[in-house]
Amino acid sequence: MGNFTIYPAIDMRGGKCVRLIQGDYNQETIYGDSPFDMAKNFADQGAEWIHMVDLDGAKEGSRINDSYVIKAAKELSAKIQIGGGIRTEEDITHYLENGIERVILGSAAVSNPSFTKDMIRQFGHRIAIGIDAKDGKVATHGWLQTSETKAIELGKALADAGAETFIVTDIATDGMLAGPNIEGVRAMAEATGKDVIASGGISTLADISALTEYHSSGITGVIVGKSLYTNRFTVREALEKGRI
């Protein structure tokens, strides 16, 4: 199962680093003018992975901030995973052929499950499934819509199709610095039997420690965003806390 991985997050909108509150595009804070400089800072602190999200892409359904992602992948030692606006095979190959390690399918997993399963078969572990849940149901299209699909059922179906990595975000906690929904993430890990990365609500180093307790249950990493940008702790401190 390997180590517990810390994924510092870079959300991109209009070429800048931003954070939204609970996915609300009207509640945006800009934290930096250069996604690449932010990624370099994280890599310089020792991050082995960086989680990047194209918020414009998620909303519009097409790649918009991909140039920053590719620059980071080509020039930094950290591995990059990217989500947001990835809807076609061409989107996936565009990223994978340009040095990105892992591509996240989110909205497509709900709206086009047959395509998602085909991509899992074709690209294997380089596809991660992003499941953004609101009251146990899956939200899509930059969280602007909530489907009737149950998060756990989607996870099971895609695990059966061969998906190896799931990123589970609890929208209620995201950007709120209120602590992670450990129960929800743990339930997904148990239901799928696969690696699950927790996302949303991390506010303290203790939150990271709490998640590492469930490493043997399948929670293999955590995405950390707002707490880094509001200087609650550093990437270096998070990496130290994540060592198990």
Catalytic residue list contains 132: yes
For residue 184, give every residue at least 6 positions away whose Cβ sits within 8 Å of its Cβ, in sequence order, or none. Answer: 133, 136, 151, 168, 170
Q: Residues 11, 56, 174, 207: which is the catalytic one?
A: 11
Residue 11 known to be catalytic: yes
d(CA 136, CA 140): 13
Question: Which among 4, 6, 1, 10 is positioned nearest to 225, based on CA atoms?
Answer: 10
Catalytic residue among 132, 170, 174, 207: 132
Q: Which residues contact 133 (CB under 8 A, 6 or more apart)?
A: 139, 151, 168, 169, 170, 171, 184
Pairwise CA distance, residues 209 & 213, whole Å:
7
How far lies 76's CA from each of 42, 83, 134, in Å?
10, 18, 34
Active site residues: 11, 132
